[in-house]
């Protein structure tokens, strides 16, 4: 979807649809952020957020995620601190990665690779530098045949790279803290990638039906992931 499509009723409707789904999913807790405050949790937004880029494109998809996070920020009465707004970034860039994902286009992985450098240059991060090797994944999956799980894995590790850097540079930590996270991150991100993949298939199936009626031509429907499609 192009930004100019938002000037139409259908374009605005699709944007609001994704914003609404994102807001609802962000209100459903999935797990607590390890090592963070008790009120910091992962939500089902981790599963739904990135796929907006797949249907709406990078620009409009990122906008929908930004709007959803802004509405959640207002309704939850979060404090207007720099760290609060920085936490918008992981999902925005995960959405852009999911939208731009394509075999061989390594520029899509520039952000997580820069995060690797930023992590290693930090006094604490440099002592646990191997933690940042996770952020090679968004680049490596661009070298294998395109598939939904690889796309989802790249997106969730893109979000993880930015979130980790925000945490590293904003709060005190130790090398032991990051090392202890390594096996937990593997399990957590594999789970998120499965959730993103499942969400993408579900939305492809539903939105394919919507498009047969709306005939907007604005949504990027991937017919490979439409369940019960008629031949």
Walk along the chain (231 residues) and give the pLDDT tens digit of each residue.
666 666 667 777 778 888 888 778 777 766 555 555 455 666 778 888 899 888 888 888 888 888 888 887 777 655 556 666 788 899 999 999 999 998 668 788 999 999 999 999 999 999 999 999 999 999 999 998 889 999 999 999 999 999 999 999 999 999 999 999 999 999 989 999 999 999 999 989 988 888 887 776 778 888 888 887 665
pLDDT at residue 218 in the model: 74
* CATH number of the domain to which 21 belongs: 1.10.1760.20
Query: Is the residue at 132 inside a domain?
Result: yes
Kindly state the tokens that stand for 214. 């709306």
Strand, coil or helix: 42: strand
β-strand partners of 29: 43
User: Which whole-number Å values give the CA distances from 1 to 7, 148, 217, 229, in the listed order?
Assistant: 11, 20, 8, 23
DSSP letter for 2, please: -
Number of independent structural domains in the chain: 1
pTM: 0.86
Cα 166–Cα 99–Cα 62 angle in degrees, nearest 5 = 55
For 98, half-sphere exposure in the C-beta direction (CA atoms, 13 angstrom radius) is 36
Comparing CA positions, the residue from 181, 217, 193 lying closest to residue 137 is 193
Query: Is the residue at 11 inside a domain?
Result: yes
pLDDT at residue 107 in the model: 84
pLDDT at residue 198 in the model: 93
User: Which whole-number Å values give the CA distances from 41 to 10, 35, 75, 163, in the listed order?
Assistant: 34, 11, 16, 13
Query: Is the residue at 231 inside a domain?
Result: no
Give the C-alpha separation, 106 to 183, whole Å.
26
Q: Which residue range forms the structural domain that includes residue 47? A: 3-225
CB of 90 closer than 8 Å to CB of 140: no
Long-range contacts of 181-184 (CB under 8 A, 24+ apart): 181/34, 181/35, 181/131, 182/130, 182/131, 184/34
Query: Is the residue at 230 inside a domain?
Result: no
pLDDT at residue 79 in the model: 58
Give the C-alpha separation, 75 to 143, whole Å.
41
CB of 152 closer than 8 Å to CB of 98: yes
Dihedral sign computed on CA atoms, order 214, 218, 219, 220: positive
Give the C-alpha separation, 186 to 182, whole Å.
7
């Amino acid at each position: 979807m192009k930004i100019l499509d938002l000037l139409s009723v259908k374009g605005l409707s699709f944007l609001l649809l994704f914003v609404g789904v994102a807001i609802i999913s962000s209100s459903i807790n999935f797990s607590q952020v390890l090592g963070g405050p008790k009120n910091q949790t992962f939500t089902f937004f981790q599963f739904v957020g990135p796929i907006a880029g797949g249907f709406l494109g990078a620009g409009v998809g990122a906008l929908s995620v930004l709007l959803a996070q802004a509405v959640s920020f207002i309704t939850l009465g979060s404090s207007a601190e720099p760290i609060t707004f920085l936490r918008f970034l992981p999902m925005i860039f995960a959405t852009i990665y999911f939208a731009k994902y394509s075999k061989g286009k390594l520029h899509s992985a520039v952000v997580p690779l820069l995060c690797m450098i930023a992590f290693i240059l930090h006094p604490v991060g440099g002592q646990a530098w191997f933690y940042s090797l996770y952020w090679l994944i968004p680049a490596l999956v661009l070298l294998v045949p395109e598939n939904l799980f690889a796309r989802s894995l790249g997106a969730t590790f893109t979000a993880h790279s930015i979130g980790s850097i925000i945490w590293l540079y904003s709060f005190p930590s130790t090398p032991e803290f990051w090392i202890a996270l390594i096996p937990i991150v593997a399990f957590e991100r594999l789970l998120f990638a499965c959730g993103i993949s499942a969400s993408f298939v579900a939305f492809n199936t539903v939105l394919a039906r919507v498009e047969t009626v709306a005939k907007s031509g604005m949504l990027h429907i991937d017919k490979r992931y439409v369940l019960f499609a008629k031949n």
